[in-house]
A and B are shown apart, each in its own frame.
Chain A
Amino acid sequence: MSLQDIYQEILLAHNENPNHFGSMLDATYQAYGNNPLCGDEITIFVKIENDVVKAVSFTGEGCAICKASSSLMTSTLCELSLPSATDKTQRFIQLLSDTSIQAPNDLGELEALLGVRKFPARLKCATLAWHTFLKAIADAHR
């Protein structure tokens, strides 16, 4: 277990300059998520048009892992249909949580987050944005 596993350059870069950081005035859905024991708190904004995720952004305060994961998520989910975005999110949460799952080779930049699997205490930081995204779009499924 080395620090490079979790603090990869790419994550530190996303932490420093996160993508899509800021609130979204024309969001169709939004949700607040927090980890009450440690203090990470974020709000996820989502714009959905014709069942397609057109934009995702986030605000809030969190550790490097939480911020980098949020940043990566906002780019990953853009332009996916609502069902694919939901599926991708659920699969990614599972992948981080369950080390017995073989990682697919099409993860792209998200692969950098896999180091968290060796740091179970930080799992919640890495998954907060993804859980909050699911919370935000819960209403879109109705």
Chain B
Amino acid sequence: MQVFNAQRIREDFPALSFCNAKGQRIVYLDNSATTQKPRCVIEALVDFYQHMNANVHRSFYEWGNRATEAYEHTRVSLSKFIGAQHPEEVIFTRGATESINCLADIIGQRYFQQGDEVLVSELEHHSNLIPWQMQQKKRGIQVKGWPVDADGNLEISALQTLLTPRTKLLAVTQVSNVLGTTPNLKEIIACAHANGTLVLVDGAQALAHLKINVQDMDCDFYAGSSHKMYGPMGVGFFYGKRKWLEALPPYHGGGTMMESVFMDSFTEAGVPKRFEAGTPPVADVIGLGKAIAYLQQFDWQSLMRYEEAVIAYAERTLCAIPGVRLIGHPETKTAIVSFLVDKIHPHDVATIVNNQNIALRAGHHCCQPLMHRLGCRGGVVRVSLGMYNTFEDIDRLAEAIDVALTVFKS
């Protein structure tokens, strides 16, 4: 097995050299919230503002050409990265949240009738639940939940009973941001399609960890975020099969999204411009392109195997600490593990480990319905990996949890 050299990769991420006042180097275990950025991404942002700061698609001078070319280059590389058939199937947004809000609204506008249903899995982040609840208010549809089992899995048999002739769309994540569950999307999507139901996949947590192929999984829509895949904040995207995108109305009105404009009307631009009104975050899109190029230099199989080995080590290490209980036990998972420490509230765990320069997250993780289902009303502590985390990081975490146990004398 090819050894994946995380130690070497760490050198590409300037932020990871940070040490606290006690000289402890940062152990960054909050990659589900946002990943750190490699030097090439940071440099791309500076390069844009120094050498091609111009608006895209409208400037007739050198900088404008360069900016447009680099911006569109990201669309091409992202479309290949996720296995889309055409670059135009990738639409840039301000983030995965905006992507889902936009899709919910335009799909709703085009396809939802009063009494229709949208099925949402209980694993979903609030950003793949609330936009559908907003459609419920706006268009009189019904949002139904697809419950997870006690281990945090989505059962296909439950899906079959929940789908009805009125189920217009299924919203499901590729990776749970709390449990790391990776539902069998191919099977789920085939099942939904057999019922004539569209499927939107939230890929925000998947893009940095799994090999994505939207054509192979056959989803209708896919949402993602740049800053969770080593790219800049402030940019995300959605994918849609071209046949759907061509049938959908624009979301925002403004520049770029129109063809001809009169005082009383306008005509819509084609795909993808129809969905990209206004000046996009050009530098950040270009930075995302660099993040993709950075990721593509690694053998994906060894990256995935490495992260699997580290998360498995994290689970074993945490389990061995008396008083620590892992939450959920998904059949298939990636890069994330959540846990509780007996008699110590998740916030207190997070504060104490932070004192040892370990960054992780405690709370609801924007998944209140899932927390209620798992009986964790006070939230959980979450460890989420990036490609630069090492086995030693996990050892540091274990030592810090020991400190927490000492402080609380439990």
Contact = CB atoms under 8 A, between A and B. Distances in A.
A125 B347 CA distance: 9
Contact of B348 (A1, A37, A39, A63): A63
Interface residues of B, number: 19
Contacts of A36: 364
Contacts, number: 56
Nearest to B403: A3
B261 to A, nearest CB: 42
A7 B406 CA distance: 11
Contacts of B345: 62-64, 66
A3 B407 contact: yes
A49 interface: no
B371 A65 contact: no
Contact of B379 (A12, A39, A64): A39
Most buried by A among B346, B362, B377, B378: B378
Candidate in B348, B355, B363 with the most chain A CB atoms within 10 angstroms? B348
A41 B379 CA distance: 11
A137 B188 CA distance: 51
Given A37-B363, A38-B364, A39-B371, A1 B355 contact: yes
B184 interface: no
A91 interface: no
Given A61-B378, A63-B345, A38 B351 contact: no
Contacts of A122: 347, 351
A56 B180 CA distance: 42
Contacts of B364: 36-39
A3 B357 CA distance: 12
Interface in A27-81: 36-41, 61-66
A120 to B, nearest CB: 11
A96 interface: no
A10 to B, nearest CB: 14
A122 B346 CA distance: 12
Contact of B352 (A3, A38, A41, A61): A3
Nearest to A61: B378
Interface in A108-125: 119, 121-122, 125
Contacts of B403: 3
Contacts of B362: 38
Interface in B336-377: 344-348, 351-352, 355, 362-364, 371, 377
A6 interface: yes
B363 A65 contact: no
In the A-B complex, the 7 residue pairs with the smallest Cβ-Cβ separation, listed nearest first, are: A63-B345, A63-B347, A39-B379, A38-B363, A61-B378, A64-B348, A63-B348
9 contacts: A7-B348, A37-B363, A39-B346, A39-B377, A39-B378, A61-B378, A63-B378, A64-B408, A65-B347
